C-alpha cells in the first residue's frame, strides 16, 4: 500500500507559465492567450537522488539498492522499478517518491520517501563457533541496507540467515542454522541465529567465589530451575539473574555479577556442566525512601515500613512494601491501584535510594448487595449485619472477612460452604457484591442464647478487616 503519491514538479513549465500570465495582464482586455498542455517528461539524465524518512538505514545504502546512477540515463518509468527494488527488501512499511526535471536534455531530481517499521529486533548469535563481532562485520559487508536491528519478516530473516550460512560454510559446510524471533525476557524480543538442532541441556551448575551466601543455598536455587532446561547463554543469564541475584539482593549485595561462566560437555548426556564464578561486590544499605502519588496518610505508610534508612538493604522487604501499599490503596476503594519501585544505587555511599511510584486509579464505591441461598427469614439477618454503606469506598477484602465472622458467630446451624464475589462497573465505578450460602435449610437459624449471643452477632456491624 502506498502512502505517498508520485508527484511531478516541472521547473521549466512553471517558469514559462508565470511569463505567459504576466504577458496576458499587459494586453487589452479583449485579447486572450491560449496555453498548450506541456508534453510528458522525456528520457533524460539523473541529476540527484535524495532519501527522506530514513532513521535506521543510511541514505547511501538505500540509494545503492535503487540501482540508479547519478549522471546516467533515466526515464520516469525507471523510478517505479527502483521503488519496487526497495519494497523487495521488506525493510519499509511504505515507500513513495517525487521527481522534478529541468533543462534540455531533461535533468531529473528524485526524492524517495520511506517509512521504516516501528518494530525491529536486535540480533543474537548462539553456538555458531565464530565470534559475534566477526559475524556482524560479515553481515555488514554482504547484506544490502544492513542494520543491527531488523524486522522479523520471513524475507529479512532468510536474507540474514543465508549470509551467515555462507560465512559458516567456510569453516563447517555441514552446519545449518535457523533464524527466529524469541523472547529473551518478557519485555525483550530478539532475532536468534543458532544451529538448527535441539540445544543441549544443562546437566549441572557449580558456583565459585561466593562468601556471603552459602554454596548449598545458591546451587539449590540454580539447579532447581536450570537442570534439564536448554542451555543457551541468555537462558543461563536469566536463571542467574532470577535465582542468584535475588538471594544476594536480600543481604544487601545489589551489584553481584558473574564475570566468568564455563560450560563443558557432560560425559554421559547431551548437556553441559556449567561453572559460574560469582563476584559479590560491596554490601549496600537503605538510603532515603520517598513516595509519589497515592492518597495514603503518613501514619498509614509508617505502619507498613519494616525497614529503616541505614539498615542493610533487603530487596524482598522493599518489594513487600510495594505490595502492602497497593493493598492499602485497594482497601480504600482504588480497585485498580498499581505501584512501582524506582531504585537509585549510589555506588559512592553504597546505598540504595527508593522511590515508590503509586497510581491509585479511580475510587470504586459499594452500591448493592445480593444474597443467594438463604430463605426469607435468614436473609434479613445477614443484611442487618452487613456494614458496608452504599456510596462509600468499597473494600474488596470486606466480603470474605464478613463471611468468616458470620461463621464464627454461629448464626446458622448446618452452615455449609460460603463464598463471595463482587462486580465493579467500569463506567459508574459502583460495585455489586454477591454472597453465596449453602447448606442452611429454612428455619434452621441457630437459637439465640440471650442478649450475649445477640450482642456478639450485632458486633460484626461496622468492623473492617
463, part of any domain: no
Residue 381's pLDDT is: 92
Q: Give the CATH number of the domain where residue 126 resides.
A: 3.10.20
464, part of any domain: no
**Residue 380 and residue 432 in one domain:** yes
3-state secondary structure 84-122: HHHHCCCCEEEEEEEEEEECCCCEEEEEEEEEECCCCEE
What whole-number distance in Å separates Cα of residue 393 and Cα of residue 330? 9
**Residue 292 and residue 329 in one domain:** yes
**Residue 344 and residue 422 in one domain:** no
**Residue 54 and residue 107 in one domain:** yes
**Residue 92 and residue 35 in one domain:** yes
Q: Which of 350, 364, 341 is nearest to 431 (CA)?
A: 364
Q: Give the CATH number of the domain where residue 434 resides.
A: 3.10.20.310
Helices assigned H by DSSP within 176-244: 215-226, 233-239
Please report how many Cα atoms fall inside a 13 Å half-sphere around the Cα of residue 186, on the Cβ side: 0
> Which of 195, 212, 232 lies at the terminal end of a domain, its last residue?
195
**Residue 35 and residue 127 in one domain:** no
**Residue 110 and residue 89 in one domain:** yes
The tens digit of pLDDT for each residue in 238-288 reads 889 888 999 999 999 999 999 999 888 888 777 889 999 999 999 999 999
What whole-number distance in Å separates Cα of residue 292 and Cα of residue 295? 10
Low-confidence ranges of the chain (pLDDT < 70): 1-39, 184-187, 439-465
Please report how many Cα atoms fall inside a 13 Å half-sphere around the Cα of residue 266, on the Cβ side: 17
79, part of any domain: yes
Contacts of 188 (CB under 8 A, 6+ apart): none
DSSP state, 429? -
68, part of any domain: yes
151, part of any domain: yes
> Which of 54, 85, 116 lies at the terminal end of a domain, its last residue?
116
**Residue 448 and residue 393 in one domain:** yes
2, part of any domain: no
What whole-number distance in Å separates Cα of residue 326 and Cα of residue 188? 26
Count of residues for the chain? 465
Contacts of 25 (CB under 8 A, 6+ apart): none
Strands (E), 301-374: 338-346, 351-359, 365-372
**Residue 92 and residue 149 in one domain:** no
1, part of any domain: no
**Residue 349 and residue 374 in one domain:** no
Q: Which domain holds residue 238?
A: 201-279
465, part of any domain: no
**Residue 17 and residue 39 in one domain:** yes
Residue 10's pLDDT is: 45
Phi, psi (deg, nearest 5) at residue 156: -65, -45
**Residue 19 and residue 110 in one domain:** yes
Q: Are 48 and 111 in contact (CB under 8 A)?
A: no
Q: Structurally, how many domains does the chain consist of?
A: 5
Stated as kind and residue range, the H or E segment containing 51 is strand 44-52
> Which of 167, 195, 223 lies at the terminal end of a domain, its last residue?
195
Residue 312's pLDDT is: 97
Residue 35's pLDDT is: 57
Amino acid at each position: 500500500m502506498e502512502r505517498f503519491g508520485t508527484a511531478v514538479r516541472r521547473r521549466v513549465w512553471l517558469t514559462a507559465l508565470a511569463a505567459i500570465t504576466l504577458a496576458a495582464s499587459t494586453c487589452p482586455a479583449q485579447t486572450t492567450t491560449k496555453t498548450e498542455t506541456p508534453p510528458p517528461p522525456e528520457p533524460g539524465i539523473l541529476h540527484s537522488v535524495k532519501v527522506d524518512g530514513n532513521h535506521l538505514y543510511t541514505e547511501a545504502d538505500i540509494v545503492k539498492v535503487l540501482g540508479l546512477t547519478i549522471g546516467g540515463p533515466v526515464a520516469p518509468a525507471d523510478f517505479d522499478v527502483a521503488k519496487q527494488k526497495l519494497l523487495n527488501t521488506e525493510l519499509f512499511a511504505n515507500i513513495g517518491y517525487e521527481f522534478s526535471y529541468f533543462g534540455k536534455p531533461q535533468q531529473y531530481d528524485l526524492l524517495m520517501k520511506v517509512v521504516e517499521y516501528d518494530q525491529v529486533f536486535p540480533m543474537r548469535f548462539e553456538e555458531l563457533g565464530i565470534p559475534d563481532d566477526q559475524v556482524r562485520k560479515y553481515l555488514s559487508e554482504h547484506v544490502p541496507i544492513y542494520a543491527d536491528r531488523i524486522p522479523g519478516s520471513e524475507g529479512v530473516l532468510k536474507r540474514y540467515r543465508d549470509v551467515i550460512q555462507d560465512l559458516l560454510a567456510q569453516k563447517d559446510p555441514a552446519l545449518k542454522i535457523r533464524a527466529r524471533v524469541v523472547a529473551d525476557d518478557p519485555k525483550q524480543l530478539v532475532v536468534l541465529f543458532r544451529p538448527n538442532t535441539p540445544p543441549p541441556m544443562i546437566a549441572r551448575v557449580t558456583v565459585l567465589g561466593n562468601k556471603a551466601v552459602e554454596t548449598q543455598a545458591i546451587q539449590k536455587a540454580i539447579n532447581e530451575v536450570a537442570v534439564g532446561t536448554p542451555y543457551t547463554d541468555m537462558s543461563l543469564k536469566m536463571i542467574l539473574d532470577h535465582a542468584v541475584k535475588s538471594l544476594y539482593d536480600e543481604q544487601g549485595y545489589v551489584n553481584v555479577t558473574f564475570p566468568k561462566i564455563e560450560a563443558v560437555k557432560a560425559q554421559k548426556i547431551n548437556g553441559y556442566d556449567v561453572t559460574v564464578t560469582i563476584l559479590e561486590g560491596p554490601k549496600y544499605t537503605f538510603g532515603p525512601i520517598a513516595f509519589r502519588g497515592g492518597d495514603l496518610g503518613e501514619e498509614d505508610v509508617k505502619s507498613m515500613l519494616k525497614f529503616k534508612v541505614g539498615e542493610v538493604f533487603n530487596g524482598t522487604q522493599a518489594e513487600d512494601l510495594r505490595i502492602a501499599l497497593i493493598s492499602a490503596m485497594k482497601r480504600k476503594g482504588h480497585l485498580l491501584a498499581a505501584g512501582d519501585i524506582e531504585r537509585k544505587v549510589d555506588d559512592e555511599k553504597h546505598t540504595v535510594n527508593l522511590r515508590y511510584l503509586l497510581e491509585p486509579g479511580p475510587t470504586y464505591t459499594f452500591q448493592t448487595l445480593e444474597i443467594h441461598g438463604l430463605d426469607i427469614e435468614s436473609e434479613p439477618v445477614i443484611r442487618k449485619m452487613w456494614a458496608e454503606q452504599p456510596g462509600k469506598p468499597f473494600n474488596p477484602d470486606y466480603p470474605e472477612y464478613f463471611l468468616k465472622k458470620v461463621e464464627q458467630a454461629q448464626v446458622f446451624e448446618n452452615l455449609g460452604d460460603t463464598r463471595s464475589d463482587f462486580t465493579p462497573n467500569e463506567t459508574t465505578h459502583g460495585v455489586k457484591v454477591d454472597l453465596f450460602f449453602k447448606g442452611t435449610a429454612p428455619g434452621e437459624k441457630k437459637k439465640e442464647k440471650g442478649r450475649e449471643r445477640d450482642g456478639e452477632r450485632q458486633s460484626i456491624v461496622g468492623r473492617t478487616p
